[in-house]
Amino acid sequence: MDVKLIITLVVVVGMVLGFLSGKFKLGLVAMTATTVLHLTGVLTFSEAYSYMANTNIVLLGALFVLSGALGRTSLVLKLRQWVLNHSGKGQMIVLVYLIICAVMTNLTSPLAILSMLLPFMTALGPESDIQPSHLLYPGAVIGHSCQGALPIGTFFLMVNALLESNGVPADQMLSVVDYAKVVAVPGIISILYMGFIGWRFFPANKIDEDQLAGKQTGSSRYTAAQENYIYIAFILVFVGLFFKTYLPFDVAALAVTAVIVLMYLNVIDLNDLKNFLNLDALFMLVGVMPLGTAMQNTGAGDLVADFIVSLLGSNPTPLMVLIAFYIAAAFLTQFMSNTATATIFSTLAIVTAMSRGVDPRPFAIAIYAGATAAMLSPTSSPSIAIAFGAGHYKIADVLKACLPLWVIYGVATIFMATFWYPI
């Protein structure tokens, strides 16, 4: 066996173990793997570090900043107030709350949603049929299952980065709507299930507000004019994403320009860049992407793909391979980092699909969505953990409410992925 092939396999295994350990930052683990591959001669300097100037990475970084600024405006606060004013009573309370959670998770993090909607939950009196504990955990679940369901987030760029790094041609990159059109239907199903069925399995416990209060974001720090600048910048960039083929320059340059203009207008500053940029996620992608090149150059990709397929029996269908990857990712994400699970299994699935001559896009999208849908365990994500603790739920409550949804969500995600991208 070739020495470079052995080194690549050892580095890949080491990176996976580093991700699974939870002891190190994902970006640190990924950049260590890439650096080792360069120092051992598997990758040239350009192959190892050129992704720092990659279009998807630059665009993703700029969108992190724009999304962070948008999340600090009064838009989210206005959505919260709208919930308080128009929630109605009974069943309508649950549905309105979950719908707003679904919208807000595409503008901010699932963790932030819990605190921003705390006033809504605590406004429910003891005489109400709906108690805060009926909403807390379901809202956290929707915050994960509906991420990327609207074409305003960065999930498609995360998937594009993994596709590109594994040699997927440019004409198969995802557009701003491609991820959303797969996840939207499972997201709607999640809202309907939790809104009519799931919430009923949770007991009417008194929630621990102290666990949520410290997470509240407070009021907007921007003036009305500054908020308008942010809205205009955000809208222009996403219009550019829809019509990027008609732009005389790369759409990433448009996003960077928007950030620069906001800085000149004193809307954001360097401290904001530091706070808004998810550097760990960016370095994780920059470090993982060269592994695709290494696996292609050394033949490790084909070796890994053949091994995985062999575990499924003789000549499994592409759908069987997709289902197997999805189940593994969606299950493990309930006990470890969503980002690590999505990255590991999406990469392996893309490599496997390409080695078999199958469109890798449904594999990447479905598995990334499945690894994002945390719901079965308090260890699955910080927001789920906080909701579980603050609501004083039992694991039995969670499993009764969420296990059927986990299965339904998986079936719907795989169906939609293969509907839009037949395999």
d(CA 82, CA 78): 6
pLDDT per residue as tens, the chain (423 positions): 689 999 999 998 898 888 877 788 889 999 999 999 999 999 999 999 998 988 888 988 998 898 888 878 887 667 666 666 655 566 778 888 899 889 888 877 787 777 666 666 655 666 667 788 888 899 999 999 999 898 877 788 889 988 988 888 888 999 889 999 999 999 999 999 999 999 999 998 777 665 555 444 555 678 889 999 999 998 998 888 888 888 899 889 999 999 999 999 999 999 999 888 888 888 988 998 898 888 888 888 778 778 888 888 778 899 999 999 999 999 988 887 787 788 888 988 998 998 889 999 999 999 999 999 989 988 778 788 888 888 889 999 999 999 999 999 999 999 999 999 998
Please give the pLDDT value at position 197: 94
Helix and strand element counts for the chain (H, E): 22, 0
What's this model's pTM, rounded to 2 decimal places? 0.79
By the 8 A CB rule, do 370 and 326 touch? yes
CA atoms within 13 A on the CB side of 279: 6
Under DSSP, the state recorded for 205 is: P
By the 8 A CB rule, do 362 and 384 touch? no
Please give the pLDDT value at position 127: 63
Q: Nearest to residue 336, comparing CAs of 16, 13, 12, 10?
A: 16
Please give the pLDDT value at position 118: 66
By the 8 A CB rule, do 355 and 331 touch? no
d(CA 5, CA 66): 41
Structural domain including 34 reads: 3-420
207: helix, coil or strand?
coil
Please give the pLDDT value at position 92: 79
The structural domain count of the chain equals: 1
CA-to-CA separations, 55 to 60, 127, 134, in angstroms, rounded: 8, 54, 43
d(CA 83, CA 122): 13
Q: Nearest to residue 167, comparing CAs of 350, 367, 5?
A: 350
At position 248, the amino acid (one-letter code) is: P
Listing DSSP states for 85-122 in one string gives HH--STHHHHHHHHHHHHHHTTTS-HHHHHHHTHHHHH
CA-to-CA separations, 292 to 149, 224, 279, 418, in angstroms, rounded: 27, 46, 21, 24
CA-to-CA separations, 62 to 27, 65, 170, 236, 264, in angstroms, rounded: 18, 5, 21, 13, 15
Please give the pLDDT value at position 415: 98
Please give the pLDDT value at position 259: 96
Find where tokens 């084909």 sit.
302
Find where tokens 């107030």 sit.
81
d(CA 347, CA 286): 13
Residues making up the chain, counted from first to last: 423
